[in-house]
Amino acid sequence: MSSIFQDKKKLRQQILKKRKALSPEWLNENSGLIHSNLKSLAALKKTKIIHTYVDWQNEVKTQSLISELLETGKRIVVPMVDKSTQQLQHFEIKSLSELKPGAFGIMEPKKNLKTSVGIEALEVIIVPGVAFDLSGHRLGYGGGYYDAFLKQTLALKIAIGFEFQIVEKIPTRAEDEKIDILVTEKQIYDF
């Protein structure tokens, strides 16, 4: 195994350990601050269609954000992990009630409610991550799902994360896709 993968694995473990220890109160409060910062972005106000992950484990929460954005008339698209093709598929949802636990326990659209959306329709993508650095690099869970997805689009890539997920330098390879903006509970970093 190359040392890049080993370095990534080590970093992933370190940050995920910290994330696992967060209390529900801390998570809710700080996710709320991130939502406020996110909603202040001109790009988010302007766009009519937003792709976002649905939070899993102790990721920055997104479900209340999804409800709010739907109420303000935004169209929402969420990803679904397709293990057979090892790719993400993308579906529009009109309500959180259209979601149920799927692959890895991640919430995804129910079978009979799948409205597929082409990647070319996306304007803004809210990207999850395990760790980030201030050069716009991100570290995911190691599957390369988001790397493959982000490579296919010109949409604005906005990662959301907590300040403690920022590290000095993410070890990267050419395949790793960069993000345009990182929003934390404290700041908006525009790369």
Ligand X SMILES: Nc1ncnc2c1ncn2[C@@H]1O[C@H](COP(=O)(O)OP(=O)(O)OP(=O)(O)O)[C@@H](O)[C@H]1O
* Positions in the binding site for ligand X (CB under 6 A): 1, 5, 8, 139-147, 175-176
Q: Which is nearer to ligand X, 6 or 36 (CB)?
A: 6
- Please give the full DSSP string across the chain, using - where no structure is assigned: --HHHHHHHHHHHHHHHHHHT--HHHHHHHHHHHHHHHHT-HHHHH-SEEEEPPP-TTSPP-HHHHHHHHHTT-EEEEEEEETTTTEEEEEEESSGGGEEE-GGG-EEE-GGG-EE--GGG--EEEE--SEE-TTS-EE-SSS-HHHHHHTT--SEEEEE--GGGB-S-----TTPPP-SEEE-SS-EEE-
Residue 145 interacting partner from Mg ion, ligand X, none (CB closer than 5 to 8 Å by kind): ligand X
Note whether 176 binds Mg ion by CB under 5 A. Answer: yes
Query: Minimum distance between the CB of residue 4 and Mg ion, rounded to whole angstroms?
Result: 10
Query: Minimum distance between the CB of residue 128 and ligand X, rounded to whole angstroms?
Result: 7
Residue 1 interacting partner from ligand X, Mg ion, none (CB closer than 5 to 8 Å by kind): ligand X
Of 58, 34, 16, which Cα lies nearest the Cα of 142?
16
Query: Minimum distance between the CB of residue 57 and ligand X, rounded to whole angstroms?
Result: 14
Binding mask 136-155 for Mg ion (x = CB under 5 A): -----------x--------
Query: Minimum distance between the CB of residue 8 and ligand X, rounded to whole angstroms?
Result: 5
How big is the site for Mg ion, counted in residues (CB under 5 A)? 2
Query: Minimum distance between the CB of residue 144 and Mg ion, rounded to whole angstroms?
Result: 6
User: For binding to Mg ion (CB under 5 A), which residues are involved?
Assistant: 147, 176
